[in-house]
Amino acid sequence: MSAEVAAGLLALRKRIDAAKIPSSKLDETINVAVWNIREFGKKRRKPAALHYIAEILGQFDLIALVELRDNLEDFGRVCHFLGPSWDLVYSDWMSDDGGNRERTGFLFDRRAVTFNGLAAEVDAPRGKAGTEYLATQSFWRAPYMCSFRSGNFDFIAIATHARWGKSTAGREAELGMLADWIDERQKDKSVEDHDLIVMGDFNTPKLDDKLFKALTRRGLQVPDSLMKLKAGDVTVGGSNLNKNARYDQILHLPTAKKRFTNFGGTLDFHVSDAGIKELFPGAGMTRTQFTYQLSDHLPIWVQIKTDIDGERLTQIVQNARKG
């Protein structure tokens, strides 16, 4: 590592400290994040950028990754910097314009999180047409679902990147389809787990517009830590560099509400255009160029409680009394 990269990491760590991310505690809490790393794998990153990306990812225990591209060489370098305890589960890519050669993945630290075995892309609902079963609408990029365990807390995580473009109606329909799919799946007797976390870049600029309402029409909720902003807290006004659009979300169903602590926010690695030169001195880098080295999205994170033994024992006692 060069002295220049080391100096950049020191500057980045000050920005990480400003995010006030609490340390996770083994078998008690995990820090979960979603990060759209702009077109990660389409064009080679600078070595410094790979160090910075690893430093940011290393603040969390489980990260949903969006815009991970078909070429995983740079991501392999990031994993090398993170160390041998880290692992990745990821989807295949779609090669058409809608799929944009993107993957979706979950990066996790095996010291805190275990992969439980379920990994699947979410298919759009199908209907029978002659001898075929066909979908009447589609996910441009299929949501990706995996099962995990931390402490004694088992859960399913779904990550996705909603369609982009000027067709708001098409995006609204896609988000509503995901909400309906989750609702139907959670009611099925064979569902893997009822504890569910839904993450991704949903291209929802505001929490009160029709796009977000479509996504949450079946009960998905934003954790309180990402909704109720108090004076002095890290603000979560937006997940873009301008901090004015909430494209990225971490959501849960009401049954999982008590799993979330009061900690959550964004990690602002950008701060300002003037601060770019702290990370890339001498490069004369514009904001647009910076976004292709790090990203045009900020990670959004929350802390989750994973020790649920007390609740299970209480439920056993309560059920016995009812009997």
Distance CA 241, CA 288 (A): 11
> pLDDT-derived band of residue 223, with 50, 70 and 90 as boundaries?
very high
Residue 63: is its pLDDT beyond 90?
yes
Residue 36: is its pLDDT beyond 50?
yes
> pLDDT-derived band of residue 234, with 50, 70 and 90 as boundaries?
very low
Report in angstroms the alpha-carbon separations of 104 from 10, 68, 161, 178, 307.
Answer: 30, 6, 8, 16, 28
Q: How many CB atoms lie within 10 A of CB 217?
A: 13
> pLDDT-derived band of residue 231, with 50, 70 and 90 as boundaries?
very low
Residues 6+ apart with CB under 8 A from 228: none
Sheet holding 153-161, edge to edge: 114-121, 144-150, 153-161, 196-201, 248-252
110 or 317: whose pLDDT is higher? 110
Please state, for a pLDDT cut of 90, what percent of the chain lies above it: 79
Distance CA 93, CA 102 (A): 5
Distance CA 9, CA 3 (A): 10
Q: Quote the mean pLDDT of the chain.
A: 91
pLDDT tens profile 175-214: 999 999 999 999 999 988 889 999 999 999 988 899 999 9
- Provide the pairing of β-strand 114-121 with 29-40: unpaired
Residue 238: is its pLDDT beyond 80?
yes
Residue 317: is its pLDDT beyond 90?
no
